[in-house]
Amino acid sequence: MTEITLYKNKAAVDTVQFPTDWSELSAKELSFIAEAIYAGKLKEADLFLCIIMNRSRKKNLIPLLDLEQCAIDGIPLVKFITEEIMLTKNPMPEVKDYFGPADNFEDLTCGEFEDAEACFFSLKEMKEEKYLNSLMATLWRKKVNGKRIPYIDYDVKPHMSVFEKINFKNKIIVFLWYIGCRENIAKLFPLIFSGEGPESDTPPALAFTNCIHMGAGVKNGTRDNIRKMLLKEFLYDIQLQLIADQNNANQPEK
């Protein structure tokens, strides 16, 4: 956090603690960011105002401020939000008696990710809440003996109603979290997500399915075998394979 003082006509109006990291953003602020990104209308000045209004002790803050100066002063402070989505901590680890994935997709399987990707891209393109519900019904499951029910032959339809009842402003944060986890994976496995690997010339929603087909074989087994693997373990194998392929391609011909 950093302390900032708000002014009007050079007179101090209020002092607020302003976040400097994604982990310091409140649920209300994350919801505002998620909805704005979902609608394609995230503006730096609006984001700054949202945060200071949320954190100010003043009940009617806006009339007290020089809004033009706020926009100038506030834009640098929200750059860490607008430049990169880094929310990887699951914002809703438990919904009633349904439990979501670990932070940063640490326990996500390839099957979960493949099916969640279809929901994610449909949500981005169609802007229909039902796809967010499907994504959550895929990733949030009940526990048996302390562990989430495995995502094997799992039917999401009977569980959809649970997520349909959640307020949109609350669950849209999951959309933001999913983006943050995807972007982190892209950093960890750049060859796969850079367009130089299996995503090349493939529609985004099918890119990971193409990756699974590429990885099937003697080492990883069938497509069904791969869907049961942990996502990051599989991506690590594929990354090594791509590096080996590049090295072989760069070897001079004998």
Residues contacting residue 179 through CB under 8 Å, at least 6 positions apart: 37, 85, 87
Q: Do 70 and 165 fall into the same domain?
A: no
The dihedrals phi and psi of 84, each to the nearest 5 degrees, come to -160, 130
Q: Do 48 and 164 fall into the same domain?
A: no
Instruction: Examine residue 14 and state whether it is found in any structural domain, yes or no.
Output: yes
Question: What pLDDT band is residue 235 in, cutting at 50, 70 and 90?
Answer: very high
Last residue of a domain, one of 48, 82, 116: 82
Least confident of 71-75, 111-115, 180-184, 204-208: 204-208
Q: At residue 40, does pLDDT exceed 80?
A: yes
How many CB atoms neighbour CB 221 within 10 A? 13
Q: Do 54 and 103 fall into the same domain?
A: no
233 versus 12: which is more confidently predicted?
233
Look up residue 216 and give its two tokens: 């099937």
101-138 pLDDT, tens digit each: 999 999 999 999 999 999 999 999 999 999 999 999 99
**Which of the 8 DSSP states describes residue 145?**
T
Question: Which structural domain range is residue 137 located in?
Answer: 94-247
* Percent of the chain whose predicted confidence (pLDDT) is above 70: 94
Instruction: Examine residue 254 and state whether it is found in any structural domain, yes or no.
Output: no
Q: At residue 251, does pLDDT exceed 80?
A: no
Q: Do 78 and 99 fall into the same domain?
A: no
Instruction: Examine residue 87 and state whether it is found in any structural domain, yes or no.
Output: no
The dihedrals phi and psi of 106, each to the nearest 5 degrees, come to -65, -30
Q: Do 50 and 144 fall into the same domain?
A: no
Q: Indicate the number of domains in the chain.
A: 2
H helices present in the chain, as ranges: 27-39, 44-55, 67-74, 79-82, 110-126, 129-139, 160-164, 168-188, 190-193, 207-215, 223-227, 231-250
Q: Do 47 and 100 fall into the same domain?
A: no
Q: Do 126 and 243 fall into the same domain?
A: yes
Q: Do 109 and 141 fall into the same domain?
A: yes
Q: How far is CA 85 from the centre of its chain?
A: 7
Q: Provide the whole-model pTM.
A: 0.89
Residues contacting residue 162 through CB under 8 Å, at least 6 positions apart: 95, 96, 98, 137
Q: Do 51 and 158 fall into the same domain?
A: no
Q: Do 109 and 61 fall into the same domain?
A: no
Mean pLDDT of all residues in the chain? 89
Q: Do 145 and 44 fall into the same domain?
A: no
Instruction: Examine residue 89 and state whether it is found in any structural domain, yes or no.
Output: no
Q: Do 10 and 68 fall into the same domain?
A: yes
Last residue of a domain, one of 82, 106, 139: 82
Last residue of a domain, one of 82, 111, 138: 82
